[in-house]
Amino acid sequence: MHHQPTCGQPRPLLARLPDLVLALATALPWLLFLLLMITLLSAGYARADGTAAGTGEMAQTTPVCQGRSLIGELTASHPERMAEALKQADAAPNGDALLWKIEKPGVDPSWLFGTMHVTDPEVTEMPVPAREAFEAASTVVIETIDILDPVKAQAALMSNPDLTMFTDGTTLISLLSPEDAKIVEAELGRRGIPMALVARMKPWIITGMVGMPPCEAARKAKGIDILDVNIAKMAGDEGKQVLGLETIGEQMAALTDLPMEFHLRGLVETIKLADLMPDILATMSDLYLQGRVSAIMPVIQAAGPEGVATDISGYAAFEERVITLRNHIMAERAAPILDKGGAFIAVGAMHLPGEEGLVSLLGQAGYTISAMR
Protein backbone atom coordinates (compact mmCIF):
# COMPACT_ATOMS: atom_id res chain seq x y z
CA MET A 1 0.00 0.00 0.00
CA HIS A 2 1.66 3.18 -1.13
CA HIS A 3 0.56 5.24 1.86
CA GLN A 4 2.33 3.13 4.44
CA PRO A 5 5.79 4.29 5.59
CA THR A 6 8.57 1.79 4.88
CA CYS A 7 11.07 0.75 7.54
CA GLY A 8 14.50 2.22 6.99
CA GLN A 9 13.30 5.12 4.83
CA PRO A 10 13.70 8.71 6.02
CA ARG A 11 10.67 10.10 7.81
CA PRO A 12 10.51 13.83 7.14
CA LEU A 13 7.02 14.01 8.60
CA LEU A 14 8.24 12.73 11.96
CA ALA A 15 10.66 15.64 12.24
CA ARG A 16 7.81 18.12 12.07
CA LEU A 17 5.37 16.08 14.17
CA PRO A 18 5.28 18.52 17.12
CA ASP A 19 4.16 21.34 14.82
CA LEU A 20 1.76 19.03 13.07
CA VAL A 21 -0.04 17.80 16.17
CA LEU A 22 -0.27 21.34 17.54
CA ALA A 23 -1.89 22.46 14.31
CA LEU A 24 -4.29 19.53 14.40
CA ALA A 25 -5.22 20.21 18.00
CA THR A 26 -6.07 23.85 17.37
CA ALA A 27 -7.95 22.93 14.20
CA LEU A 28 -10.44 20.42 15.60
CA PRO A 29 -13.31 20.13 14.89
CA TRP A 30 -12.67 22.01 11.66
CA LEU A 31 -10.26 19.39 10.35
CA LEU A 32 -12.80 16.63 10.89
CA PHE A 33 -15.50 18.77 9.30
CA LEU A 34 -13.26 19.47 6.32
CA LEU A 35 -12.38 15.82 5.77
CA LEU A 36 -15.99 14.78 5.54
CA MET A 37 -17.07 17.85 3.63
CA ILE A 38 -14.39 17.39 0.97
CA THR A 39 -15.38 13.77 0.45
CA LEU A 40 -19.04 14.80 0.22
CA LEU A 41 -18.27 17.59 -2.24
CA SER A 42 -16.04 15.27 -4.25
CA ALA A 43 -19.09 13.20 -5.10
CA GLY A 44 -20.47 16.22 -6.96
CA TYR A 45 -17.80 16.19 -9.64
CA ALA A 46 -18.67 13.76 -12.41
CA ARG A 47 -17.16 13.45 -15.89
CA ALA A 48 -19.20 14.87 -18.66
CA ASP A 49 -17.83 12.61 -21.42
CA GLY A 50 -18.71 9.28 -19.82
CA THR A 51 -15.21 7.83 -20.19
CA ALA A 52 -14.20 5.31 -17.56
CA ALA A 53 -11.38 6.39 -15.27
CA GLY A 54 -8.19 4.52 -14.55
CA THR A 55 -7.47 3.13 -18.02
CA GLY A 56 -5.22 3.91 -20.96
CA GLU A 57 -3.10 7.03 -21.26
CA MET A 58 -5.02 8.88 -18.54
CA ALA A 59 -4.10 6.22 -15.98
CA GLN A 60 -0.41 6.55 -16.93
CA THR A 61 -0.44 10.28 -16.21
CA THR A 62 -2.56 10.22 -13.06
CA PRO A 63 -1.25 12.84 -10.59
CA VAL A 64 0.17 11.22 -7.46
CA CYS A 65 -0.50 12.70 -4.03
CA GLN A 66 2.59 13.52 -1.94
CA GLY A 67 0.83 13.13 1.39
CA ARG A 68 2.01 10.45 3.81
CA SER A 69 -0.10 8.50 6.25
CA LEU A 70 0.30 9.55 9.86
CA ILE A 71 -0.35 6.06 11.22
CA GLY A 72 3.27 4.91 11.43
CA GLU A 73 4.57 8.19 12.80
CA LEU A 74 1.87 8.52 15.44
CA THR A 75 2.21 4.90 16.49
CA ALA A 76 5.95 5.38 17.02
CA SER A 77 5.69 8.74 18.78
CA HIS A 78 2.50 8.30 20.82
CA PRO A 79 1.65 4.58 21.08
CA GLU A 80 -0.68 5.19 24.02
CA ARG A 81 -2.80 7.62 22.02
CA MET A 82 -2.93 5.30 19.05
CA ALA A 83 -3.96 2.43 21.32
CA GLU A 84 -6.75 4.57 22.81
CA ALA A 85 -7.91 5.60 19.33
CA LEU A 86 -8.11 1.99 18.22
CA LYS A 87 -9.96 1.11 21.42
CA GLN A 88 -12.55 3.77 20.59
CA ALA A 89 -12.79 2.41 17.07
CA ASP A 90 -13.34 -1.13 18.32
CA ALA A 91 -16.16 0.08 20.57
CA ALA A 92 -18.12 1.42 17.58
CA PRO A 93 -20.32 -1.28 16.04
CA ASN A 94 -19.93 -2.27 12.40
CA GLY A 95 -16.79 -0.24 11.83
CA ASP A 96 -14.38 -2.86 10.52
CA ALA A 97 -15.80 -3.92 7.15
CA LEU A 98 -16.60 -2.22 3.86
CA LEU A 99 -18.88 -4.88 2.39
CA TRP A 100 -22.03 -6.27 4.04
CA LYS A 101 -24.44 -8.93 2.82
CA ILE A 102 -28.12 -8.14 3.40
CA GLU A 103 -30.60 -10.98 3.52
CA LYS A 104 -34.35 -11.32 3.88
CA PRO A 105 -36.42 -14.50 3.49
CA GLY A 106 -37.97 -14.96 0.06
CA VAL A 107 -35.74 -12.57 -1.92
CA ASP A 108 -32.26 -12.65 -3.41
CA PRO A 109 -29.51 -11.24 -1.18
CA SER A 110 -28.37 -7.64 -1.50
CA TRP A 111 -25.12 -5.92 -0.52
CA LEU A 112 -24.05 -2.67 1.13
CA PHE A 113 -20.62 -1.33 0.18
CA GLY A 114 -18.80 1.62 1.75
CA THR A 115 -16.94 3.95 -0.61
CA MET A 116 -14.67 6.94 -0.22
CA HIS A 117 -15.47 9.89 -2.48
CA VAL A 118 -11.95 10.62 -3.70
CA THR A 119 -10.01 9.82 -6.87
CA ASP A 120 -7.09 7.96 -5.27
CA PRO A 121 -6.41 5.12 -7.77
CA GLU A 122 -6.17 2.57 -4.95
CA VAL A 123 -9.51 3.68 -3.54
CA THR A 124 -11.23 3.66 -6.94
CA GLU A 125 -10.22 0.03 -7.54
CA MET A 126 -13.17 -2.01 -6.30
CA PRO A 127 -12.06 -4.93 -4.09
CA VAL A 128 -12.69 -8.39 -5.55
CA PRO A 129 -15.46 -9.36 -3.07
CA ALA A 130 -17.28 -6.11 -3.79
CA ARG A 131 -16.87 -6.59 -7.55
CA GLU A 132 -18.34 -10.09 -7.27
CA ALA A 133 -21.30 -8.73 -5.29
CA PHE A 134 -21.75 -6.00 -7.88
CA GLU A 135 -21.81 -8.53 -10.72
CA ALA A 136 -24.45 -10.60 -8.91
CA ALA A 137 -26.77 -7.62 -8.45
CA SER A 138 -29.50 -6.53 -10.85
CA THR A 139 -29.94 -3.08 -9.29
CA VAL A 140 -27.16 -0.67 -8.31
CA VAL A 141 -27.78 2.22 -5.90
CA ILE A 142 -25.53 5.18 -5.09
CA GLU A 143 -26.12 8.21 -2.88
CA THR A 144 -27.36 10.39 -5.74
CA ILE A 145 -27.59 9.75 -9.46
CA ASP A 146 -27.65 13.50 -10.06
CA ILE A 147 -23.84 13.44 -10.17
CA LEU A 148 -23.94 11.28 -13.32
CA ASP A 149 -25.34 14.17 -15.34
CA PRO A 150 -23.42 17.43 -14.69
CA VAL A 151 -25.98 19.44 -16.65
CA LYS A 152 -28.84 18.05 -14.56
CA ALA A 153 -26.90 18.59 -11.35
CA GLN A 154 -26.16 22.19 -12.30
CA ALA A 155 -29.81 22.79 -13.15
CA ALA A 156 -30.88 21.31 -9.80
CA LEU A 157 -28.60 23.68 -7.91
CA MET A 158 -29.58 26.69 -10.01
CA SER A 159 -33.23 25.99 -9.26
CA ASN A 160 -32.44 26.63 -5.60
CA PRO A 161 -29.67 29.25 -5.60
CA ASP A 162 -29.89 29.74 -1.82
CA LEU A 163 -28.01 26.46 -1.44
CA THR A 164 -24.84 27.87 -2.92
CA MET A 165 -25.17 31.67 -3.10
CA PHE A 166 -26.15 34.63 -0.95
CA THR A 167 -29.29 36.00 -2.58
CA ASP A 168 -30.09 38.80 -0.12
CA GLY A 169 -27.21 41.17 -0.91
CA THR A 170 -24.88 39.62 1.68
CA THR A 171 -21.26 39.12 0.68
CA LEU A 172 -18.69 36.76 2.15
CA ILE A 173 -16.38 39.58 3.20
CA SER A 174 -19.18 41.38 5.01
CA LEU A 175 -19.53 38.38 7.33
CA LEU A 176 -15.83 38.02 8.15
CA SER A 177 -13.76 39.98 10.62
CA PRO A 178 -11.17 42.28 9.00
CA GLU A 179 -8.39 39.86 9.99
CA ASP A 180 -10.16 36.81 8.59
CA ALA A 181 -11.16 38.69 5.45
CA LYS A 182 -7.47 39.40 4.76
CA ILE A 183 -6.65 35.71 5.17
CA VAL A 184 -9.38 34.67 2.72
CA GLU A 185 -8.55 37.39 0.19
CA ALA A 186 -4.84 36.50 0.30
CA GLU A 187 -5.53 32.82 -0.28
CA LEU A 188 -7.89 33.49 -3.16
CA GLY A 189 -5.39 35.92 -4.65
CA ARG A 190 -2.65 33.30 -4.38
CA ARG A 191 -4.85 30.98 -6.41
CA GLY A 192 -5.66 33.63 -8.98
CA ILE A 193 -9.33 33.78 -7.98
CA PRO A 194 -10.78 37.31 -8.01
CA MET A 195 -12.79 38.07 -4.90
CA ALA A 196 -15.53 39.56 -7.06
CA LEU A 197 -15.99 36.14 -8.67
CA VAL A 198 -16.81 34.39 -5.39
CA ALA A 199 -18.09 37.29 -3.27
CA ARG A 200 -21.64 35.94 -3.11
CA MET A 201 -20.76 32.25 -2.81
CA LYS A 202 -21.62 30.48 0.43
CA PRO A 203 -18.45 29.88 2.47
CA TRP A 204 -18.72 26.09 2.35
CA ILE A 205 -18.37 26.20 -1.44
CA ILE A 206 -15.10 28.15 -1.13
CA THR A 207 -13.94 25.82 1.65
CA GLY A 208 -14.25 22.90 -0.74
CA MET A 209 -12.29 24.81 -3.39
CA VAL A 210 -9.34 25.79 -1.21
CA GLY A 211 -9.28 22.71 1.02
CA MET A 212 -8.98 20.05 -1.65
CA PRO A 213 -5.37 18.76 -1.93
CA PRO A 214 -3.67 19.73 -5.23
CA CYS A 215 -3.36 16.12 -6.37
CA GLU A 216 -7.08 15.53 -5.89
CA ALA A 217 -7.91 18.72 -7.78
CA ALA A 218 -5.50 17.73 -10.58
CA ARG A 219 -7.06 14.31 -10.97
CA LYS A 220 -10.51 15.87 -11.11
CA ALA A 221 -9.26 18.31 -13.73
CA LYS A 222 -8.20 15.28 -15.78
CA GLY A 223 -11.74 13.98 -15.49
CA ILE A 224 -10.95 11.02 -13.24
CA ASP A 225 -14.05 9.72 -11.50
CA ILE A 226 -14.61 8.70 -7.91
CA LEU A 227 -15.51 5.07 -7.20
CA ASP A 228 -19.23 5.77 -6.80
CA VAL A 229 -19.44 7.24 -10.29
CA ASN A 230 -17.42 4.38 -11.76
CA ILE A 231 -19.79 1.88 -10.11
CA ALA A 232 -22.86 3.62 -11.52
CA LYS A 233 -21.36 3.85 -15.00
CA MET A 234 -20.37 0.18 -14.99
CA ALA A 235 -23.90 -0.67 -13.94
CA GLY A 236 -25.34 1.33 -16.80
CA ASP A 237 -22.97 -0.30 -19.28
CA GLU A 238 -24.07 -3.73 -18.07
CA GLY A 239 -27.76 -2.91 -18.30
CA LYS A 240 -28.40 -2.85 -14.57
CA GLN A 241 -30.97 -0.52 -13.05
CA VAL A 242 -29.26 2.49 -11.42
CA LEU A 243 -31.00 4.33 -8.58
CA GLY A 244 -30.15 7.05 -6.04
CA LEU A 245 -31.10 7.50 -2.40
CA GLU A 246 -30.95 11.32 -2.36
CA THR A 247 -30.95 14.31 -4.64
CA ILE A 248 -27.93 16.57 -4.89
CA GLY A 249 -30.14 19.37 -3.57
CA GLU A 250 -30.79 17.37 -0.41
CA GLN A 251 -27.08 16.78 0.05
CA MET A 252 -26.26 20.44 -0.33
CA ALA A 253 -29.11 21.41 2.00
CA ALA A 254 -27.53 19.25 4.71
CA LEU A 255 -24.48 21.50 4.61
CA THR A 256 -26.32 24.78 4.38
CA ASP A 257 -28.45 23.88 7.40
CA LEU A 258 -25.40 24.30 9.65
CA PRO A 259 -24.86 27.69 11.34
CA MET A 260 -23.14 30.35 9.24
CA GLU A 261 -20.58 30.96 12.00
CA PHE A 262 -19.56 27.32 11.74
CA HIS A 263 -18.95 27.66 8.01
CA LEU A 264 -17.05 30.95 8.34
CA ARG A 265 -14.71 29.53 10.96
CA GLY A 266 -14.32 26.41 8.88
CA LEU A 267 -13.24 28.41 5.83
CA VAL A 268 -10.54 30.33 7.69
CA GLU A 269 -9.23 27.23 9.46
CA THR A 270 -9.20 25.32 6.18
CA ILE A 271 -6.89 27.92 4.65
CA LYS A 272 -4.54 27.59 7.62
CA LEU A 273 -4.61 23.78 7.30
CA ALA A 274 -4.13 23.52 3.55
CA ASP A 275 -0.56 22.17 3.76
CA LEU A 276 -1.63 19.39 6.14
CA MET A 277 -4.49 18.05 4.06
CA PRO A 278 -2.46 15.69 1.83
CA ASP A 279 -1.11 13.90 4.92
CA ILE A 280 -4.50 13.73 6.60
CA LEU A 281 -6.23 12.52 3.45
CA ALA A 282 -3.53 9.86 3.05
CA THR A 283 -4.25 8.70 6.60
CA MET A 284 -7.95 8.56 5.85
CA SER A 285 -7.31 6.52 2.68
CA ASP A 286 -4.97 4.19 4.56
CA LEU A 287 -7.58 3.30 7.14
CA TYR A 288 -10.29 3.00 4.50
CA LEU A 289 -8.24 0.54 2.45
CA GLN A 290 -7.77 -1.53 5.59
CA GLY A 291 -11.54 -1.51 6.15
CA ARG A 292 -11.08 0.27 9.49
CA VAL A 293 -13.77 2.87 8.95
CA SER A 294 -14.55 3.55 12.61
CA ALA A 295 -10.86 4.24 13.28
CA ILE A 296 -10.65 7.23 10.93
CA MET A 297 -11.85 9.96 13.28
CA PRO A 298 -10.27 8.59 16.50
CA VAL A 299 -6.88 8.19 14.81
CA ILE A 300 -6.96 11.74 13.45
CA GLN A 301 -7.98 13.06 16.85
CA ALA A 302 -5.10 11.09 18.39
CA ALA A 303 -2.74 13.49 16.63
CA GLY A 304 -3.74 16.23 19.08
CA PRO A 305 -1.35 16.79 22.02
CA GLU A 306 -2.58 15.70 25.43
CA GLY A 307 -4.17 18.36 27.57
CA VAL A 308 -5.27 20.63 24.73
CA ALA A 309 -9.02 21.09 24.94
CA THR A 310 -10.97 21.29 21.70
CA ASP A 311 -14.56 22.36 21.19
CA ILE A 312 -16.19 19.49 19.33
CA SER A 313 -19.71 20.85 19.57
CA GLY A 314 -19.52 22.21 16.06
CA TYR A 315 -18.42 18.87 14.69
CA ALA A 316 -21.17 17.14 16.66
CA ALA A 317 -23.76 19.30 14.90
CA PHE A 318 -22.14 18.50 11.57
CA GLU A 319 -22.15 14.77 12.30
CA GLU A 320 -25.80 14.86 13.36
CA ARG A 321 -27.04 16.74 10.29
CA VAL A 322 -24.72 15.53 7.54
CA ILE A 323 -24.22 11.91 8.63
CA THR A 324 -26.77 10.66 11.16
CA LEU A 325 -29.92 12.30 9.79
CA ARG A 326 -28.98 11.26 6.27
CA ASN A 327 -28.39 7.69 7.50
CA HIS A 328 -32.01 7.48 8.60
CA ILE A 329 -33.22 8.88 5.27
CA MET A 330 -31.02 6.46 3.31
CA ALA A 331 -32.18 3.46 5.35
CA GLU A 332 -35.83 4.37 4.84
CA ARG A 333 -35.41 4.82 1.09
CA ALA A 334 -33.27 1.71 0.72
CA ALA A 335 -35.88 -0.57 2.31
CA PRO A 336 -38.25 -0.95 -0.69
CA ILE A 337 -35.25 -1.59 -2.93
CA LEU A 338 -33.88 -4.24 -0.59
CA ASP A 339 -37.31 -5.85 -0.35
CA LYS A 340 -37.05 -6.69 -4.06
CA GLY A 341 -33.61 -8.27 -3.57
CA GLY A 342 -30.53 -8.30 -5.78
CA ALA A 343 -29.37 -4.76 -4.95
CA PHE A 344 -25.84 -3.42 -4.62
CA ILE A 345 -25.89 -0.21 -2.56
CA ALA A 346 -22.73 1.93 -2.52
CA VAL A 347 -22.54 4.89 -0.13
CA GLY A 348 -19.78 6.76 1.69
CA ALA A 349 -18.14 4.42 4.22
CA MET A 350 -18.69 6.87 7.09
CA HIS A 351 -22.41 6.12 6.81
CA LEU A 352 -21.89 2.45 7.76
CA PRO A 353 -20.64 2.26 11.39
CA GLY A 354 -22.16 3.33 14.68
CA GLU A 355 -25.38 2.83 16.60
CA GLU A 356 -27.17 4.96 14.01
CA GLY A 357 -25.11 3.85 11.03
CA LEU A 358 -26.73 2.23 8.02
CA VAL A 359 -25.71 -1.28 9.07
CA SER A 360 -27.39 -0.93 12.49
CA LEU A 361 -30.45 0.82 11.07
CA LEU A 362 -31.04 -1.86 8.44
CA GLY A 363 -30.56 -4.56 11.06
CA GLN A 364 -33.19 -2.86 13.23
CA ALA A 365 -35.50 -2.83 10.20
CA GLY A 366 -35.47 -6.64 10.16
CA TYR A 367 -32.76 -7.51 7.66
CA THR A 368 -30.02 -10.03 8.43
CA ILE A 369 -26.68 -8.32 7.81
CA SER A 370 -23.31 -10.06 7.71
CA ALA A 371 -19.84 -8.54 7.30
CA MET A 372 -18.01 -9.83 4.19
CA ARG A 373 -14.35 -9.48 5.16
Instruction: Render 116-134 in DSSP notation, one character per residue.
Output: --S--TTTTS--HHHHHHH
Structural domain includes residue 141: yes
Question: What pLDDT, on a 0 to 100 scale, did the predictor assign at position 246?
Answer: 94
| Residue 191 included in any domain | no
202 neighbors 263 (Cβ within 8 angstroms): yes
> How many domains does the chain divide into?
1
State the residue range of the domain holding 339: 12-165+201-371
Q: pTM, whole model, 2 decimals? A: 0.82
122 occurs within a structural domain: yes
pLDDT reported for residue 321: 86
Residues 281, 126, 7, 85, Cα dihedral to 10°:
50
Cross-strand bridge partners of residue 182:
none
User: What's the average pLDDT block by block, 10 residues per block, for the chain (373 residues)?
Assistant: 39 39 38 50 39 38 77 91 93 96 97 92 94 98 89 79 90 94 93 90 86 81 88 97 93 86 86 80 91 90 53 68 93 98 96 96 98 90
Q: Which helix (H) or strand (E) holds 317?
A: helix 313-318
Q: Is 328 among the domain residues?
A: yes
What does the pLDDT read at residue 163? Answer: 84
Q: How far is CA 149 from CA 232, 251, 252, in A?
A: 11, 16, 16
Residue 321 lies in a domain: yes
Q: Looking at the domain assignment, is residue 220 inside a domain?
A: yes
pLDDT for position 166:
94
- pLDDT value for 150: 76
Contact 1, 286 (CB under 8 A): yes
- Classify residue 178: in a domain, yes or no: no
Residue 154 resides in a domain: yes
CA distances from 186 to 43, 93, 197, 349, 359 (A): 28, 44, 14, 35, 44
Cα-only R_g, the chain:
20
